[in-house]
Amino acid sequence: MSNAKDIRKQVRNVIQELIPELLTKEVVDAITKQMHERVTKLENDTKAQMKEMNERHKDVMGYLVRQASSPAQK
């Protein structure tokens, strides 16, 4: 019976030693995953915004070219 108690105590001690390391690893992995997701979303949002700005730029430049090339009205 005492042998079982000793084994349980040893297992408990090993687990108590490993828990901080395992929790730290799990927390770091979770934070890394969340940061990666946020950076990816930010990248996609930025690309979409830049594409929209590029389209507006093309529209404005086209308007300016048309205005510059049309004859002056009196």
* Integer Rg of the chain from CA: 32
Gap between the Cα atoms of 37 and 21, Å rounded = 24
Q: Look at the chain and count its residues.
A: 74
Gap between the Cα atoms of 56 and 36, Å rounded = 30
Q: Spell out the per-residue pLDDT of the chain, length 74, in tens.
A: 579 899 999 999 999 999 989 899 999 999 999 999 999 999 999 999 999 999 999 999 999 999 988 876 65
